[in-house]
Amino acid sequence: SQQGEEDPQALSIQEGENATMNCSYKTSINNLQWYRQNSGRGLVHLILIRSNEREKHSGRLRVTLDTSKKSSSLLITASRAADTASYFCATDPSGNTPLVFGKGTRLSVIA
């Protein structure tokens, strides 16, 4: 069952620009997580934001969460070619239920 849906599906930007990806979900959540996947590799956890938090930062990453709109955004500032990857949001629809992943946003950062 697909809970989160990322937008856009694909994004291409120049190195140094900011990249913004969005995630919308359907039901109430306890937390929302963002993951990165380099081509063909396992997903790597980036950041977790709880339902009672509105914004979180980690290095060049900024995540916001709007529970009233059931949406989250991931901002990568001053992007680098190494940021080229697919980015997934994952939601926990209710306590003790496994995470559900979206289909991802494919980000290309051109040097």
Partner 1 sequence: EAQVTQNPRYLITVTGKKLTVTCSQNMNHEYMSWYRQDPGLGLRQIYYSMNVEVTDKGDVPEGYKVSRKEKRNFPLILESPSPNQTSLYFCASSLDGGGSYNSPLHFGNGTRLTVT
Residue with tokens 């289909």: 103
Q: What mask of x and - would describe binding to partner 1 in positions 6 to 45, judged by CB under 8 A?
A: ------------------------xx-x-x----xxxxxx
47 contacts 61 by C-beta, under 8 angstroms: yes
Q: Cα–Cα distance between 100 and 79 in angstroms, integer?
A: 27
Q: Which of 50, 54, 57, 80 binds partner 1 (CB under 8 A)?
A: 50
What's the sign of the alpha-carbon dihedral 94, 97, 102, 106? positive
The answer to the question of residue 54 lying near partner 1 (CB under 8 A) is no
Chain contacts with partner 1 (rule: CB under 8 A)? 1-2, 30-31, 33, 35, 40-45, 48, 50, 88, 90, 92, 94-104
